[in-house]
Amino acid sequence: MPHVTAFARNQWYVAAHGHEVGRELLGRTVLGEPLVLYRAEEDGGPVALHDRCVHRRYPLSESGLDGDRIVCGYHGFTYDRTGTCVYVPGQKRVPRTARVASYPVVEQDSLVWVWIGDPALADPRAVPRARHLDSPGWVTVRGMEPIAADYGLLVDNLLDLSHETYLHGGYIGTPEVAETPITTEVDEAAGIVRVSRHMDDAECPSFYSRSTGLTGRISRRQDIEYHAPCLYLLHSSIAPVGAEPGPDGSDPHGFRTEITYAITPSTDGAVYDFWAVSRNWATDDPEVSEFLRTNNHTVVMQDVDALNLLQQTLSSERAGGQELSVNIDAGGLAARRILARLAEEGATPVEKVR
Q: Which residues bind ligand FES (CB under 6 A)?
A: 53, 55-56, 58, 72, 74-77
If contact means CB under 5 to 8 A according to the sort of partner, which of Fe ion, ligand FES, none does residue 75 touch? ligand FES
Nearer to Fe ion, 51 or 156 (CB): 156
- Minimum distance, C-beta of residue 285 to ligand FES, in the bound complex (Å): 49
Name residues whose C-beta falls within 8 Å of residue 189's C-beta, 6 or more positions apart in sequence.
350, 351
If contact means CB under 5 to 8 A according to the sort of partner, which of Fe ion, ligand FES, none does residue 30 touch? none
- Minimum distance, C-beta of residue 337 to ligand FES, in the bound complex (Å): 44
Cis peptide before 128 (omega within 30 of 0): no
Do the bridges between strand 78-79 and strand 85-87 make them parallel or antiparallel, or are there none, so unpaired? Answer: antiparallel
Nearer to ligand FES, 58 or 138 (CB): 58
Residues 132 and 108: their CA atoms lie apart, in Å, by: 11
If contact means CB under 5 to 8 A according to the sort of partner, which of Fe ion, ligand FES, none does residue 51 touch? none
Q: At what angle do helices 286-316 and 151-159 cross, to 10 degrees?
A: 120
- Minimum distance, C-beta of residue 23 to ligand FES, in the bound complex (Å): 20
- Answer whether 351's CB lies under 8 Å from 345's CB: no
Task: Indicate whether 303 belongs to the interface with Fe ion (CB under 5 A).
Answer: yes
If contact means CB under 5 to 8 A according to the sort of partner, which of ligand FES, Fe ion, none does residue 77 touch? ligand FES
If contact means CB under 5 to 8 A according to the sort of partner, which of Fe ion, ligand FES, none does residue 303 touch? Fe ion
Task: Indicate whether 273 belongs to the interface with Fe ion (CB under 5 A).
Answer: no
Name residues whose C-beta falls within 8 Å of residue 344's C-beta, 6 or more positions apart in sequence.
6
- Minimum distance, C-beta of residue 28 to ligand FES, in the bound complex (Å): 19
Q: Can you say whether the dihedral through the CA atoms of 200, 204, 209, 211 is positive or negative?
A: negative
Task: Indicate whether 156 belongs to the interface with Fe ion (CB under 5 A).
Answer: no
If contact means CB under 5 to 8 A according to the sort of partner, which of ligand FES, Fe ion, none does residue 112 touch? none
Nearer to Fe ion, 258 or 303 (CB): 303
- Minimum distance, C-beta of residue 53 to ligand FES, in the bound complex (Å): 3
Q: Can you say whether the dihedral through the CA atoms of 320, 162, 190, 350 is positive or negative?
A: negative
Nearer to ligand FES, 77 or 103 (CB): 77
Residues 269 and 150: their CA atoms lie apart, in Å, by: 4
Q: Which strand (E) or helix (H) includes residue 344?
A: helix 330-345
Nearer to ligand FES, 98 or 328 (CB): 98
Q: Where are the beta strands (DSSP E) in the chain?
A: 12-17, 26-30, 33-39, 46-50, 64-66, 69-71, 78-79, 85-87, 105-108, 111-115, 139-147, 183-187, 192-202, 218-227, 231-240, 255-267, 270-279
- Minimum distance, C-beta of residue 168 to Fe ion, in the bound complex (Å): 6
- Minimum distance, C-beta of residue 88 to ligand FES, in the bound complex (Å): 8
- Minimum distance, C-beta of residue 26 to ligand FES, in the bound complex (Å): 18
Three-class SS state of 292: helix
If contact means CB under 5 to 8 A according to the sort of partner, which of Fe ion, ligand FES, none does residue 76 touch? ligand FES
If contact means CB under 5 to 8 A according to the sort of partner, which of ligand FES, Fe ion, none does residue 87 touch? none
Residues 294 and 210: their CA atoms lie apart, in Å, by: 12
Listed residue (350, 114, 112) closest to 228, CA to CA: 350
Q: How many residues bind Fe ion (CB under 5 A)?
A: 1
Contact footprint for Fe ion (CB under 5 A): 303
